[in-house]
Structure 1
Amino acid sequence: MEATMQSKQQPQAKQFKTIPILVSLLLAGFIGMFSETALNVALSDLMTVLNITPTTAQWLTTAYLLTLGILVPISGLLLQWFTTRQLFVAALSFSIAGTFIAAMAPNFEFLLMARIVQAMGTALLLPLMFNTILVIIPPEKRGAAMGLIGLVIMVAPAIGPTIAGLLISNLSWHWIFWLSLPFLVIALICGILFMQNVSEVTKPKIDVLSIVLSSFGFGGIVYGFSSAGEESGWSSPKVIIAIAIGVIALVLFAIRQLTMKQPMINLRAFKFPMFTVGVLMIFICMMVILSSMLILPMYLQQGQGYSAFKAGLLLLPGGIINGLMSPLMGRLFDKYGPKWLVIPGLVVVAVSLWFFSSITATSTVIFVIVLHSALMIGISMIMMPAQTNGINQLPLEYYPDGTAIMNTLQQVAGAIGTALAVSIMTSGTKNYMKTVTDAADPSNVLAAFTHGVQNAFIFGMIMAVIGLIVAFFLKRVVIQHKSQAPMH
């Protein structure tokens, strides 16, 4: 059975025009990630121009994450209902429409709507990209291919803030989107010309209740945690109710998936221990990276008084190093497996965050660049090896489910990580202010903010240590595509 499965798979893999397909996917993915992070640097500028509060501005990120949290779980189902070409064209069409609306946006409401439309494109594109690569690349070369994705996905967020800072200081925030638009159109044309249908359309039955439970579950948790970063914090009824609804809906969703013959997301993927460990590693890693990526630029701008452009420049070396390391890590993973990359990677991340927890207003530029670069090297050693090793253990028919689970939990981890970091930073700042006599003194305000930021980095370090404990359970997966599960 195994021999026939593999003999079926091999000639099929050779028929694909791998390079043009990869170029189309990676170009679209790069621009999606670029506009996602470029806007973060523009938030303080947008608050002034659009006359909105920080809490309102945060919704530009929250609405994006919320849309991803609701749509990505359904992607496994969409991959089985529509062809690769149809989904690619749909994803790019949403991205182009959203980017165009954002570039033209006269006010906050239009910009928020544009972010939701953009997120619909990203929600379709991310799982499609991973699933397509899993189908067209043979397992023994998969580490290098995932390393290439890592290069693209990590360089975009690295250069996003720098380019955004440059555009804001010379033109306006609208140009972040005008710059992205031609590249998205080129990616769409490449896709129309070269994209091939790689997955089988099986059109499984659509279970409306599963979609509703998944939307309330993931949506409730993302919304609840994102809202916790607002002024009212964790005690707000809105936060408590949203998280409670999310947890209840997710429990019901999980029960329903495990009792259905044709589940929307096949949670039996968690039967495979290395997939479960991989998911845990990705979850922890996304919490660490997104929380520190939010806190660090904020401190560089507000605590050390740098402009958006200079803060972006300081973070550029680390992001580029991370991107360049990804293909190298991919090759090392193909050769040596995950354990010898992930464990040292987590040690590097934990140590970097421990040093970051001593950051002050007088910390030097070199201190920030060296530590941020070390943090990024550590992240590149963890993300791709853990992800690829986990997916490799799944049988072929579980690929859409595995990619849907990993991509969904990345969005949820991002929302949880940033919310926890912001609330830890805020409470640390408030607690410090209670101990000072003159609350209006600027030096006390800065010291309180610094104290809050240091606490947020300690939280990141604790998460990395938890990840390190989990990493000791990692084992290299030997790929054997047996028919271990009923076909979708």
Structure 2
Amino acid sequence: MQKINPLGLTITAMIAMIAMIMTSTMVNVAIPDIMGAFGVGQDQAHWISTGFLSTMTAGMLLNGWLVATFGPRNIFIATLTFFSIAGVLGQHVSSFEAAVLARFAQGLCAGIIQPLALSTVYLAYPPSQRGVAMGWFGLGIVFGPTIGPFLGGLIIDQFEWRLLFSATVPIMVVAAFMASIFMPGRDPNTKPVSLNVISFILIITSIMLLLNGISIGQQNGWDTDNVFLMLFGAIVALIIFLFRELKSHSPLLQLRLFSYRNYVASALIAFIFGAGMFGSLYIIPVLVQTIQGFSAFKAGLMLLPGGIVSMIVFPMAGRLSTAVDPSHTIAVGLAIFGLSCWLLADIGMLTSFWIIALLVAFGRVGLGLVMPSLNLSSMNSVPAELVPYAAGTLNFIRMTGASIGVSVLAIIIDYRTIGNGADLLTTQTPDNTPSVETIRMISEKLSHLGLNSNEGSLAAISYFKALLSLKAQELAFQEGHIALCILFMVGVIATTLLFRRKPDI
């Protein structure tokens, strides 16, 4: 039996996990820069985030087979190496498609590392110490998305956005070296696990067709043939996948988990929570940079108080979830997150930095309440022999929700920006006294700067059009927050109606 240093293993796993999760949120503050660099809109730019999240789900499905075949140490080091290579290549890409491809590769690696790190740390400790170990490990997971936007903004303002792809490479080198010392090798007693290649291809095909169908539907229209074929293909691939999984001797997902009502409830909430949480992490940095004119660093700094609040609430919520029914803390957490989104739907161009920061921090209280309770409720709802599969499946569902949530939210904002712009333009008639008066005042001020009346009028009209465009975007982001609020309220209702007090095992 291999001798394991639990502390060294935990630090190694946390370093890699924090760096990879940090990379997933670090790039969110660079979305406006990426849009400008490659000339793309929200309907395409979201792939920088969505691509990472979608392939992360694929990596989670590969983890069991890779670890059983090659051992934790080999896979850990190889994945960190591949992640670093993708980051260095991504830093020097010349097209948007290549940047997305680099994010695909990094997301795949992050999906492999997340369950690998969690399972190896869990098994490194005796049962009496696992709760404490998971608490510290969970705190590390929260730290990644907390510091990511802040460091990302700092790098963008001081250097350039391309460095975000490779910023964590030095950390990966350190983690790989530590893994060679502390990470266990392959256990010779481990039974070989076969990879269900066809099922893997089917589920990834279903997810990618769905995301592409949503994205292209916004660009080309929802009634076009290619959008219909993509969405129909996604449904067909999913049905075939589920049928194969029911019959397979080596399934990627243990569908038996869904015979337990509380696990079904946990999975549904995980999907909703993943979509809402990552949607919020995506929308806020883009909003404040686009509407408020914040720098990338200031946008990241604004999210920092919320991350600190999550780190404080997380261990407290973990203890609370063992004292009261987890469904109660889940419902309260979702309600708090939904309320914060409703309040954020009122922010605009003139809202102060600290008001936005405090509203974001308020929502992160809900995040801290939901995560430990959701994990605990899912584990407690299934028999002991299914617990290892329950955690991996729940993560897969949560990240699938995240990729779909970010994609749909970006489409909503892009679609409503166009719609709001058209609505505002229809109100700009000669009878619109406030608009006419505003243009006149702007023209007069420009005339004092040396412009003649014709030049001043043209410049004033151009400036007013820019204001209308900005207002259209502001309204779209507000509607995006309302959509998030509705999503979280659906989660509250589902939690209240679906959870049973006594697990059905």
Q: Confirm or deny a common fold (TM above 0.5).
A: yes
Counterparts of residues 87-98 of structure 1 (less than 5 Å): 87-98=75-86
1:263 and 2:251 correspond: yes
Matched residue count = 467
Among candidates 342, 366, 373, match of residue 354 of structure 1: 342
Structure-2 change in CA distance of 1:207 and 1:100 (3 Å): same
| Contact 1:41–1:165 (CA under 8 A) maintained in structure 2 | yes
1:373 and 2:373 correspond: no
In the alignment, which residue of structure 1 is the partner of 2:103? Answer: 115
Counterparts of residues 26-425 of structure 1 (less than 5 Å): 26-49=14-37, 57-105=45-93, 108=96, 111-137=99-125, 144-196=132-184, 201-227=190-216, 231-232=219-220, 234-235=222-223, 237-425=225-413
Structure-2 change in CA distance of 1:114 and 1:450 (3 Å): closer
1:30 shift after superposition: 0.7
In the alignment, which residue of structure 1 is the partner of 2:490? Answer: 466
Q: Report Cα offsets for 1:396-453 as digits up to 9, x if no partner.
A: 5434532332222222211221122222223333333333336762332233222211
d(CA) in 2 for partners of 1:167 and 1:123?
25
In the alignment, which residue of structure 2 is the partner of 1:4? Answer: none
1:477 shift after superposition: 7.4
Structure-2 change in CA distance of 1:339 and 1:207 (3 Å): closer
In the alignment, which residue of structure 1 is the partner of 2:461? Answer: none
Structure-2 change in CA distance of 1:245 and 1:144 (3 Å): farther
Structure-2 change in CA distance of 1:140 and 1:157 (3 Å): same
Structure-2 change in CA distance of 1:109 and 1:466 (3 Å): closer
| Contact 2:122–2:133 (CA under 8 A) maintained in structure 1 | no
Letter in 2 for 1:32: M
Among candidates 460, 470, 473, match of residue 449 of structure 1: 473
d(CA) in 2 for partners of 1:307 and 1:236?
39
| Contact 2:42–2:413 (CA under 8 A) maintained in structure 1 | no
d(CA) in 1 for partners of 2:206 and 2:93?
31
Structure 1 stretch displaced more, 405-414 or 428-437: 428-437
Structure 1 stretch displaced more, 448-457 or 46-55: 46-55
Identity of aligned residues (%): 26
Letter in 2 for 1:442: A
d(CA) in 2 for partners of 1:372 and 1:236?
39
| Contact 1:338–1:474 (CA under 8 A) maintained in structure 2 | no
d(CA) in 2 for partners of 1:137 and 1:227?
48
Structure-2 change in CA distance of 1:411 and 1:244 (3 Å): farther
| Contact 2:56–2:109 (CA under 8 A) maintained in structure 1 | no
Structure-2 change in CA distance of 1:459 and 1:130 (3 Å): same
Q: Give SS of 1:441's match.
A: helix
1:189 shift after superposition: 1.3
1:430 and 2:418 correspond: yes
d(CA) in 1 for partners of 2:202 and 2:267?
21
d(CA) in 1 for partners of 2:53 and 2:467?
35
Structure 1 stretch displaced more, 257-266 or 72-81: 72-81
1:31 shift after superposition: 0.6
Letter in 1 for 2:296: A
d(CA) in 2 for partners of 1:30 and 1:477?
35
Structure-2 change in CA distance of 1:121 and 1:309 (3 Å): same
1:96 shift after superposition: 2.2
d(CA) in 2 for partners of 1:346 and 1:62?
23
Q: Give SS of 1:341's match.
A: helix
Q: Give SS of 1:435's match.
A: helix
Letter in 1 for 2:210: I
Structure-2 change in CA distance of 1:78 and 1:145 (3 Å): same
Q: Give SS of 2:287's match.
A: helix
d(CA) in 2 for partners of 1:256 and 1:173?
43
What's the Cα RMSD here? 3.0
d(CA) in 1 for partners of 2:131 and 2:334?
19
d(CA) in 2 for partners of 1:119 and 1:303?
29
TM-score normalised according to structure 2 size: 0.83
1:335 shift after superposition: 4.0
Structure 1 stretch displaced more, 470-479 or 215-224: 470-479
Q: Give SS of 1:202's match.
A: coil
In the alignment, which residue of structure 2 is the partner of 1:5? Answer: none
d(CA) in 2 for partners of 1:365 and 1:23?
35
1:375 shift after superposition: 0.5
Structure-2 change in CA distance of 1:222 and 1:127 (3 Å): farther
d(CA) in 2 for partners of 1:334 and 1:172?
45
Structure 1: gaps (5+ residues): 1-11
d(CA) in 2 for partners of 1:365 and 1:53?
26
| Contact 2:340–2:360 (CA under 8 A) maintained in structure 1 | yes
Q: Give SS of 2:105's match.
A: helix
Structure 1 stretch displaced more, 365-374 or 264-273: 264-273
d(CA) in 1 for partners of 2:499 and 2:277?
21
1:470 shift after superposition: 2.2
1:329 shift after superposition: 1.9
d(CA) in 2 for partners of 1:107 and 1:217?
26
d(CA) in 2 for partners of 1:393 and 1:132?
23
Q: Report Cα offsets for 1:328-351 as digits up to 9, x if no partner.
A: 222332444523422221221121
| Contact 1:33–1:156 (CA under 8 A) maintained in structure 2 | yes
d(CA) in 2 for partners of 1:218 and 1:140?
39
TM-score normalised according to structure 1 size: 0.86
Structure 2: gaps (5+ residues): 429-463
| Contact 1:226–1:416 (CA under 8 A) maintained in structure 2 | no
Q: Report Cα offsets for 1:36-87 as digits up to 9, x if no partner.
A: 2212222322344456665554433343234224333233433443422232
